[in-house]
């Protein structure tokens, strides 16, 4: 939808006013490589997508804050002094949670606003529409209230809104990528310290194709906790050999080879090997991208999937089938599962001339082999949160 069209919807919803409406935007995100490393002191490597959530916001002359979305029929009208006092269990909890966090930073609302959100990100598909709506809200209100629009701070307060107000536990990667992404760049991020750098990643004639397995996840939390404790176990053993080690991902592969025999449990050893090698793959990816070697990056994506499947064992039949079928398409440089696993999405790097064929053939084979209907989203790498030119 163009900004003009969205603005017409805004006027339909709220009517005309002499106040100026401003337009803000935040993208969705995908993690390109570096899985299950965040809690092991390793890197993640996400990128902002080239589609996301747009917000039109306009001050009101009274004290109501009004919420509407083109994606949901539910609307809310809340007095600004009542913001955050009652959770609704509806989508408005996401932007309200952000306003609650802004108030904690001494930036409370002092008047009413009309808000209309428009999301192009499928909800609950692993592209982080939640981080997108949070970050666009945070950026918009910091801009309107004259606060500092520091995008790292916005990521942090958006994460707190999701963790504390909405009540969904999630790491910082999503909000960070959505807030700090840049067109044709991936983000090398250390989640603990928030140390990061933007790495040029011009996809050129290639597209990121995200495939949603639509597999219902079960028992993910317990498996996730099991992986975490296996990593802690491996770290405790390796620390006896290398006392300076504070995280598993700090270990270099050569160092790991020297000491890995100390880990008696074969499963724990495989978990640790994934962490060490996956972190090295992220660093190697940054190196090959310096020469824009997408071909080699694609091979690293494939290796990452094998490691997640065989060593870390967080893949599943559906993810494996989708990746296998994706890798059959001649224009595919690489394909892997992305996210925590046990379902969710794959990400593939595919030549634009083959994208149509990819979606058709991978979709058909996936359906035939799993009985499930996959969904595909074709993306480029776009900018992080920003203010857009409004309608004059």
As annotated, the binding site for substrate includes 35-38, 224
Q: Is 75 in the site for ligand ADP (CB under 6 A)?
A: no
For the window 106-125, what string marks contact with ligand ADP as x by the rule CB under 6 A?
Answer: -----------x-x---xxx
Please state, in angstroms and rounded to a whole number, the distance separating the CA atoms of residues 88 and 95. Answer: 12
Compute φ and ψ for 381, nearest 5 degrees: -100, 120
Q: Is 126 in the site for ligand ADP (CB under 6 A)?
A: yes
Q: Is 159 in the site for ligand ADP (CB under 6 A)?
A: no
Q: Is 17 in the site for ligand ADP (CB under 6 A)?
A: no
174, 192, 265, 293: the active-site residue: 174
Q: Segment contacting ligand ADP (CB under 6 A): 126-134, 237-245, 273-281, 373-381?
A: 126-134
Integer angstrom CA distances of residue 31 from 47, 255, 282: 6, 27, 11
Report which residue's Cβ sits closest to Mg ion.
130
Please state, in angstroms and rounded to a whole number, the distance separating the CA atoms of residues 51 and 203. Answer: 16
Among 130, 159, 203, 212, interactor with ligand ADP by CB under 6 A: 130
Nearer to Mg ion by C-beta: 8 or 74? 74
Q: Is 94 in the site for ligand ADP (CB under 6 A)?
A: yes
Nearer to ligand ADP by C-beta: 111 or 167? 167
174 labelled catalytic: yes
The dihedral region occupied by 371, where left means phi > 0, alpha psi between -120 and 50, and beta the remainder, is: left
Show Cβ contacts of residue 72 under 8 Å, excluding neighbours closer than 6 positions: 90, 91
Please state, in angstroms and rounded to a whole number, the distance separating the CA atoms of residues 331 and 203. Answer: 13
Binding site feature residues: 35-38, 69, 124-130, 162, 224
Cβ-based neighbour number of residue 290 at 10 Å = 9
Integer angstrom CA distances of residue 270 from 7, 102, 184, 284, 379: 54, 44, 34, 21, 33
Both structure tokens of 31: 């993690």
Among 66, 128, 212, 302, interactor with ligand ADP by CB under 6 A: 128
Q: Is 52 in the site for ligand ADP (CB under 6 A)?
A: no
Binding site feature residues for ATP: 69, 124-130
Among 53, 66, 130, 285, interactor with Mg ion by CB under 5 A: 130
> Catalytic residue numbers?
174
């Amino acid at each position: 939808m163009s900004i003009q069209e969205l603005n017409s919807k805004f006027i339909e919803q709220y009517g005309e006013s002499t106040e100026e409406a401003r337009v803000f935007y935040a993208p969705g995100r995908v993690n390109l490589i570096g899985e299950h490393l965040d809690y092991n002191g390793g890197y993640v490597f996400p990128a902002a997508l080239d589609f996301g959530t747009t917000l039109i916001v306009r001050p009101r002359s009274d004290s109501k804050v009004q919420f509407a979305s083109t994606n949901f029929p539910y609307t809310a009208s809340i007095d600004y002094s009542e913001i955050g006092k009652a959770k609704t269990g509806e989508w408005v909890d996401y932007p309200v949670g952000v306003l609650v966090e802004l108030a904690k930073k001494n930036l409370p609302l002092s008047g009413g606003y009309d808000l209309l959100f428009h999301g192009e990100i499928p909800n609950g598909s692993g592209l982080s529409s939640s981080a997108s709506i949070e970050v666009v809200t945070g950026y918009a209100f910091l801009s309107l209230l004259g606060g500092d629009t520091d995008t790292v701070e916005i990521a942090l307060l958006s994460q707190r809104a999701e963790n504390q107000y909405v009540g969904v536990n999630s790491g910082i990667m999503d909000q960070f990528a959505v807030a700090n992404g840049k067109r044709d760049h991936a983000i090398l991020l250390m989640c603990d310290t928030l140390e990061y750098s933007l790495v040029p990643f011009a996809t050129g004639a290639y597209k990121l194709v995200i495939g949603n397995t639509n597999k219902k996840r079960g028992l993910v939390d317990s498996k996730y906790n099991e992986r975490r404790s296996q990593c802690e176990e491996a770290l405790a053993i390796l620390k006896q050999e290398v006392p300076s080690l504070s995280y598993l991902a700090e270990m270099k592969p050569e160092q790991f080879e020297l000491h890995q025999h100390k880990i008696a449990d074969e499963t724990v050893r495989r978990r640790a090997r994934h962490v060490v090698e996956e972190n090295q793959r992220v660093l190697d990816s940054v190196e090959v991208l310096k020469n824009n070697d997408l071909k080699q990056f694609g091979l690293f994506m494939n290796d990452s999937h094998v490691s997640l499947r065989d060593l870390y064992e967080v893949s599943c039949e559906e993810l494996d089938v989708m990746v296998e079928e994706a890798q059959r398409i001649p224009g595919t440089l690489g394909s892997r599962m992305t996210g925590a696993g046990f379902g969710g999405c794959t990400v593939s790097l595919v030549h634009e001339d083959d994208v149509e064929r990819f979606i058709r053939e991978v979709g058909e084979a996936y359906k035939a082999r799993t009985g499930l209907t996959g969904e595909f989203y074709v993306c480029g790498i776009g900018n992080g949160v920003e203010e857009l030119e409004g309608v004059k």
